[in-house]
Structure 1
Amino acid sequence: MQDEKQEYGEGTGMDTMRERFVTVTSRLLDEDPRLALVLAEISMDGFRPARQRHPDRVLNVGIREQLLVGVGGGLALTGLRPVMHTFASFLVERPFEQVKLDFGHQGTGGVLVSASASYDWPAGGYTHMAPGDVALLDTLDGWTVHVPGHPDEAEALLRHAYAAGDDKVYVRLSQLSNAAARPVGGLGLRTVREGTRGVVVAMGPTLDDVLAATTGLDVTVLYAATVRPFDDASLRAAARRAGADVVLVEPYLAGTSTAAANDALAEVPHRVLGLGVGRAELRRYGTVEEHTAAHGLDPAGLRQRITAFLDV
């Protein structure tokens, strides 16, 4: 666990998305008696003070991820607003049946908050990588998915998720971060840069690399920190203004949002290129930066593929 703490900056004074999650959730547990937190050891150190104050609403089930989600579903049936947290691979992939049944089938709501998204902790190996998490949730109905690109965005979206009645929400936290936060109110696509020869959509922590990759190019850049529901109207409007060729840059499995973009542009002649994490397993785990480059998501890799597709 020590390596995990060092990787995420715990105890170093760094304000990561995961640390912001601990701070905000601990505070809101004091303020909202409906909020409950279920952990599977991960981040337990950060929540010890909150657990001491609220032993009935901060539960640690140990490394039992199916139980993590099952307990959350049970708490939801009692009227509480459950927050379930662990690594993305253990929160969405391993207990997928429980996510499908205990929330979808039972008609309950809750908030899944992940850490270690696509390849954020390479030292953890492939067991701790989940680039297919958003695509997997796309097979279920009614999930809102937030992909913040900065700790300030993470705080705003966490607060929104906790207050969202009985909705089903997934908040995908990352070790990667853009240099500055963007407004995330309204939960749709926002225009960051305008151009006339195509649209590039950057999702979550990919924005800085997309902006660097498109420097000097005559393209519109849109930003999304909330990716589900997909903002059909904003993409259609941008495509009509800037040309209907669209590049999607996602910090998870390449092509995850391609179908959504195609549906949004069904009445507009268009092409869509989906960029993201590849399906091939990279067995030399290396660093986060090396994974980003290997998947072609660094500025050089993005620029090459964007310019070739949009012919700019």
Structure 2
Amino acid sequence: MDTMRERFAPVVSRMLDEDPRVAVVLAEIGKDGFREAMARHPDRVINVGIREQLLVGAAAGLALTGLRPVVHTFASFLVERPFEQVKLDLGHQEAGAVLVSAAASFDWPAGGYTHMSPGDVALLDTLDGWTVHVPGHPDEAETLLHHAVAAGDDKVYVRLSVQSNRRGRVIDGRRLVTVREGRAGVVVAVGPMLDTVLAATEGLDVTVLYATTVRPLDTAGLRRATQAAGTDVVLVEPYLAGTSTAAVSEALSDVPHRVLGLGVGRRELRRYGTVEEHVAAHGLDARSLRGRIGAFVRAQGRVAAGV
């Protein structure tokens, strides 16, 4: 199976051929995947070099001329380093673009902390009007890329990862997908965390919801699930722990509820290791998740029983 990022360049290259509004802006990273597209569309595939602030600024300029720019590099260089340009050139000017990241939380451990960005979604949460897609499979990434480019002039972030579920799900770019139903709580698995969450909750009486679009959060779908399963919600996100707890709390603000946010911890892990070792160190492997989710659900059960 190809990775999400391997799927990215061919999909967007076809978009360049089919839609004269689409433009691609790169900062060296990922340019090899667009060599043929650059030869066909030299005016709409632009490599600015290792200049990430210019990367976003150039995309904003293209958007203001009526184009739909797709902007790509590692998450740490796409969201964190040029954040002022994301805030001002795109947000303040109301210019739309599709930011497509790679590497994100710790997909390339050998790159060190400079190439990790577990706080990317949380950082975008400080800005208004962003749609955030977190696919969990290359097929879903392709679907969400099409949704993002077709989204008029909206500001969209698509977070690609080497971590992937075994199979893709049917998604629409808006709603949560119910994967398993229970009555003792709701677990929301975001993107590539789904397979691990399903393994971790096997035998637990919980509803599992699958989220590939986290902003805006499908609050109506979440509320429907809690009507049957109760208002205890566990979030399992492949980025900074607790990133979406405020969104869940807002969705359930009129009813008593509890939220447990699980994800990447704030502590920096200073050894390269492997992706799997980072997953385990942050407690995002199936065994660790089962213990944390099970304890949360059992604790509420004891409270409900008056123990």
TM superposition score normalised by structure 2: 0.96
Of 5, 27, 52, the residue aligned with 2:14 is: 27
Cα deviation, residue 186, structure 1: 5.0
Aligned to 1:234: 221
The SS at the match of 1:282 is coil
Are 2:173 and 2:212, in contact at CA under 8 Å, matched by a contact in 1?
Answer: no
Aligned to 2:158: 171
Of 283, 289, 294, the residue aligned with 1:296 is: 283
From the superposition, tell whether residues 186 and 96 of structure 1 become closer, same or farther in structure 2 (CA, over 3 Å).
closer
Note the aligned Cα RMSD (angstroms).
0.8
Amino acid at match of 2:289: L
Q: What whole-Å deviation, never above 9, does each CA across 1:87-132 have from its counterpart, x for those lacking one? A: 0000000000000011110011010000001000000000000000
Aligned to 1:134: 121
Map 1:205-284 → 2, pairs under 5 A: 205-284=192-271
Q: What whole-Å deviation, never above 9, does each CA across 1:168-225 have from its counterpart, x for those lacking one? A: 0000000000000011115111100000000000000000000000001100000000
The SS at the match of 2:58 is helix
Is 2:24 the counterpart of 1:57?
A: no
Aligned to 1:73: 60
Of 263, 273, 285, the residue aligned with 2:272 is: 285
Of 94, 97, 106, the residue aligned with 1:110 is: 97
Is 2:147 the counterpart of 1:160?
A: yes
Unaligned runs of at least 5 residues, structure 2: 302-307
TM superposition score normalised by structure 1: 0.95
Could you tell me how far apart the structure 2 residues matched to 1:33 and 1:19 are? Answer: 23
The SS at the match of 1:82 is strand
Is 2:166 the counterpart of 1:191?
A: no
From the superposition, tell whether residues 59 and 186 of structure 1 become closer, same or farther in structure 2 (CA, over 3 Å).
closer
Identity of aligned residues (%): 78
Could you tell me how far apart the structure 1 residues matched to 2:181 and 2:173 are? Answer: 20
Could you tell me how far apart the structure 2 residues matched to 1:186 and 1:59 are? Answer: 28
Aligned to 2:112: 125
Amino acid at match of 1:182: R
Aligned to 1:7: none
Unaligned runs of at least 5 residues, structure 1: 1-13
Cα deviation, residue 158, structure 1: 0.1
Cα deviation, residue 239, structure 1: 1.1
Runs of 4+ in structure 1 deviating by more than 6 angstroms, as ranges, are none
Are 2:145 and 2:158, in contact at CA under 8 Å, matched by a contact in 1?
Answer: yes
The SS at the match of 1:59 is strand
Could you tell me how far apart the structure 2 residues matched to 1:98 and 1:33 are? Answer: 25
